């Protein structure tokens, strides 16, 4: 599975906003665009969606820009990605469709595997806040399952 630039850039911009909002003043999209090396016009499109979905507030006038709508510890990465219409899925099938992705319209034999992977990705991204990203508390969050840790080594034949 690969996350498109839309989702990645939205998360990068929101993390930048969370990081630079500490001065208690709005952050301009031009500043975020420069720091993150993202096109200003692309950021404007993303922030329109983020604002419509209630993740940011805009402040007009001189010194205007954007602020987070809630503390960064309350904003989840999954919410940011979903706000910009980025599906969190690993299958080729359309979400919620009864029709599969094969030429005959059936689901492939690995469909359930990829669907569960998409759910696990969503669970993980829902467990990570913007504050976690900004404060570098993301690495080490995923641990192998106990079944993987307790598996017996296989003997060579």
Residue 67 backbone dihedrals phi, psi, to 5 degrees: -135, 155
List the one residue out of 90, 95, 100 whose CA is nearest residue 122.
90
Looking at the domain assignment, is residue 124 inside a domain? yes
Number of domains in the chain: 1
Has residue 150 been placed in a domain?
no
Is 142 inside a domain boundary? no
Domain that holds residue 45: 5-90+101-137
In a domain, 156, yes or no: no
**Looking at the domain assignment, is residue 105 inside a domain?**
yes
Tens digit of pLDDT at every position of the chain (157 positions): 557 889 999 999 999 999 997 667 899 999 999 999 999 999 999 999 999 999 999 999 888 899 999 999 999 999 999 999 777 666 666 655 566 666 676 777 877 888 888 888 889 999 999 999 999 999 877 766 555 555 555 555 4
- Note whether residue 155 is domain-resident: no
DSSP 3-state percent helix, strand, coil across the chain (nearest 5) = 50, 5, 45
Q: Are 33 and 65 in contact (CB under 8 A)?
A: no
């Amino acid at each position: 599975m690969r996350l498109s630039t839309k989702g990645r850039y939205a998360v990068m911009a929101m993390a930048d906003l969370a990081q630079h909002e500490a001065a208690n003043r709005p952050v301009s999209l031009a500043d975020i665009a420069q720091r993150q090396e993202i096109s200003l016009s692309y950021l404007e499109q993303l922030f329109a969606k983020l604002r419509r979905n209630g993740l940011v507030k805009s402040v007009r006038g001189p010194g205007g820009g954007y602020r987070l709508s809630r503390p960064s510890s309350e904003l989840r990465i999954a919410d940011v990605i979903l706000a910009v219409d980025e599906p969190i899925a690993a299958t080729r099938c359309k979400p919620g469709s009864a029709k599969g992705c094969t030429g005959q319209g059936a689901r492939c034999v690995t469909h359930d595997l990829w669907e569960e992977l998409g759910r696990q990705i969503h669970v993980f991204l829902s467990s990570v806040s913007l504050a976690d990203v900004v404060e570098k508390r993301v690495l080490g969050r995923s641990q192998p399952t106990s079944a993987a840790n307790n598996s017996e080594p296989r003997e060579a034949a």
